[in-house]
Amino acid sequence: MPLSRRNKVILHDAVAIAAAWMIALYARFNFELPPHDNLAHALQALPVVLIVQGLIVQRFGLYRGVWRFASLQDLWNILRAAVLGAGCIGIALFVINRLEGIPRSMTVLYPMFLIGTLGGPRLMYRLWKDRSLSLKQLSSGQRTVIIGAGSGGETLVRDMLRGGGYVPVGFVDDRSSLRKARIHGVPILGAIDQLPRLAQKLQIELVLIAIPSATSAEMRRIVEICERTGLPFRTLPRLQDLVNGGALRELRDVSIDDLLGRAKVELDWQTIQSQLAGKAVLVTGGGGSIGSELCRQVARLGAGRLVVFERSEHHLYLVERELRASHPRLDLHCVLGDVCDRPALHHAFATWKPRLVFHAAAYKHVPIVEAQAREGVRNNVLGTHLVTAAADQFGCEACVLISTDKAVRPSSVMGATKRFAELLCEVRNQRSATRFITVRFGNVLGSAGSVVPLFQEQIKSGGPVTVTHPEATRYFMTIPEASQLILQAAAIGQGGEIYVLDMGEPVSISYLAEQMIRLSGRVPGRDIQIVYTGLRPGEKLKEELFRADENLAPTRHEKLLLAGHTQLDAVRIRELFEELMAACEEFAEERIRKLLTEAVPELSQTIPQPQNTTVVQFKRSNS
């Protein structure tokens, strides 16, 4: 019966130990025949040497290693096992026979030779296998060039040389100090800008981007260069997204997040966790894009209880299933409810006693709310009023309103309702022990109803991709980044603040559309057309994050800015709220629009009624 791989390794190591012991004896006598007594005693001691050294070798895990992947760690283990083994053998033989007939110098020479007999075959086997695989790959596999000769590129080419169907032809890297260098025998061919010429000259079939630390601006430049080659290209994830595993398994297509996302946000997690740990937290709209991510973060940070309050049954089902799978010990309560339903809210607050509230429930689709002002006011204004009132009545520590850049000098009903919601929070904060905090940010990549999934759907169906205006720009950030900054604001807010998230530079929607088409492997204007449809009712050409009279001030977190307070007429705001609610009861759309204009003077006096737009009756969701 053939020996198993483990038994073969054990047999090899036994022979290596015996060989090292006997070579040490011959070395002691200048590699001449040792005296008969010394040779006899060395052979008599050999079983002890094999047993003691074998146990130590096993203790250091050398039998578990795969020779094909022998590494510096294996060499370190061999060195430790050899030195410790020599010491233990010397002690054992001294106890047995006082080292009679064994030259003392053998205990010094033995570990030196053992390192060679154990490590040498392992190293030679790895070199042989690597070379044989490399030669095999030269005749089969995709000819590949790697962008980036750093640690990511080194890991990638090392995995390629072990197998995987790729032939690493070379690296490109902008560091001049690396010119003409080699990594694992693979040459560095030149700068990244030279890639199109090199790709054609060397018959490259695939480009791999191996710079996990690249910023979005750097990625945009690299992707533009890759596109000029006309070749497919893939990338390693960003540093914060890397998981344990082979680099080849981590490769993925370049996503729009790589081009628009930003450097990882560094948060004061200790402060955030101290605010959440062990406490009951309620999230309204907890099944939506931002709300569900807030739930994930709150659960991860050790909240004592999480109450997900959501209008959509389907969204509530999805978030409950996910949270129960990922946090089985979490005290989780998923409540089907509407933020405009006062009894449902009071029942949830009285039953689960939340200490922190994140109010993410809102209508946010500008054209739909523009055509149905009453529904927008009820959900965004009345809902905020009822949530903040319940947080005040039930003695919550803090309540955070999730607002939007569309609340700044609003040109839409939706934006005006969110601005009025901000005002309600500021007024409530003036006479409450609860801290009411507002966090304002722009578009979130991948959120429900955002432009990214819309473009993805249009590209998948063959186009055209519809863009409102060639000069339209928007601010973008990722869902996790937005949610984490909301938690940071909740941790540091004292009450009454409007925090503005630093969204970076605005991004052209046309650029976004073009890049998404290119990333799908097609050419804008040739394979997929871009059609400009004109701004929809209520939409702006460019969004803003703060008004001119809101003098932004820094906070202790660089990504959070504080909008300066404006003078509020709390009495008039409460009067306007009551009048708006009365108009909603009467379904008086025109009066609602007029009152919104009075409450938010920046809103145009005449909000145009959208033309050729069907008024959609739909199920309201807090998402």
What is the pLDDT confidence band of residue 247, given thresholds at 50, 70 and 90? low
> Judging by beta carbons within 10 Å of its beta carbon (0-12, 13-18, 19+), is residue 42 exposed, middle or buried?
buried
What is the pLDDT confidence band of residue 618, given thresholds at 50, 70 and 90? very low
pLDDT of residue 325: 94
Residues 62 and 70: their CA atoms lie apart, in Å, by 10
The yes-or-no verdict on residue 457 having pLDDT over 60 is yes
Residues 602 and 573: their CA atoms lie apart, in Å, by 15
Residues 193 and 173: their CA atoms lie apart, in Å, by 9
φ, ψ dihedrals at 173, nearest 5°: -155, 145
Strands (E), 469-598: 473-474, 476-478, 498-501, 507-508, 530-532, 553-554, 560-563
Residues 452 and 509: their CA atoms lie apart, in Å, by 10
Report helix, strand or coil for 387: helix
Kindly report which listed range (117-131, 158-172, 319-333) carries the lowest average pLDDT score: 117-131
pLDDT of residue 296: 93
| Local structure of residue 616 (DSSP, 8 states) | P
What is the pLDDT confidence band of residue 547, given thresholds at 50, 70 and 90? low
Mean pLDDT value across residues 241-256: 59
How far is C-alpha 191 from the chain's CA centre?
29
Q: Among residues 544, 542, 524, 545, which one has the least CA distance to residue 472?
A: 542
| Local structure of residue 236 (DSSP, 8 states) | P
| Beta carbons within 8 Å of 55's beta carbon, 6+ residues apart | none
Report helix, strand or coil for 498: strand
306 vs 267, which has greater pLDDT? 306
The yes-or-no verdict on residue 244 having pLDDT over 50 is no
Report helix, strand or coil for 543: coil
pLDDT of residue 508: 84
Mean pLDDT of the chain: 82
Q: Among residues 197, 145, 200, which one has the least CA distance to residue 173?
A: 145
- Beta strand 186-190 with 206-209 is unpaired
Q: 């903040």: which residue's tokens? A: 388
pLDDT of residue 265: 61
- Region of 147 on the Ramachandran plot (φ > 0 left; ψ -120 to 50 alpha; else beta): beta
| Local structure of residue 378 (DSSP, 8 states) | I
Which of 156-165, 278-287, 526-535 has the highest average model confidence (pLDDT)? Answer: 278-287
462 vs 449, which has greater pLDDT? 462
Which of 49-53, 125-129, 553-557, 600-604 has the highest average model confidence (pLDDT)? Answer: 49-53
Length in residues, the chain: 623
Residues forming beta bridges with residue 208, ordered by sequence position = 146, 234
**Domains of the chain from N-terminus onward:** 5-133 (no CATH), 140-254 (3.40.50.720), 269-599 (3.40.50.720)
pLDDT of residue 608: 40
> DSSP H helical segments within 231-382, as ranges?
247-250, 256-260, 269-276, 289-300, 313-326, 342-352, 366-371, 373-377
Is the model's pTM score more than 0.75? Answer: no
The yes-or-no verdict on residue 471 having pLDDT over 70 is yes
What is the pLDDT confidence band of residue 283, given thresholds at 50, 70 and 90? very high
| Local structure of residue 476 (DSSP, 8 states) | E
Percentage of the chain lying above the pLDDT 90 cut: 30
Measured at the CA of 222, the angle between CA 221 and CA 224, to 5 degrees, comes to 65
The yes-or-no verdict on residue 532 having pLDDT over 50 is yes
Helix, strand, coil distribution of the chain in percent, nearest 5 = 50, 15, 35
How far is C-alpha 453 from the chain's CA centre?
19
Helices and strands (H, E) in the chain, number of each type: 22, 22
Per-residue pLDDT tens over the stretch 354-379: 999 999 999 988 889 999 999 999 99
Mean pLDDT value across residues 479-485: 82
The yes-or-no verdict on residue 275 having pLDDT over 80 is yes
The yes-or-no verdict on residue 35 having pLDDT over 80 is yes
Kindly report which listed range (128-142, 387-401, 565-579) carries the lowest average pLDDT score: 128-142
Mean pLDDT value across residues 399-420: 90
The yes-or-no verdict on residue 242 having pLDDT over 80 is no
Long-range contacts of 97-102 (CB under 8 A, 24+ apart): 97/41, 100/41, 101/37, 101/38, 101/40, 101/41, 101/42, 102/38, 102/41, 102/42, 102/45
539 vs 572, which has greater pLDDT? 572
Mean pLDDT value across residues 77-96: 85
- Region of 174 on the Ramachandran plot (φ > 0 left; ψ -120 to 50 alpha; else beta): alpha
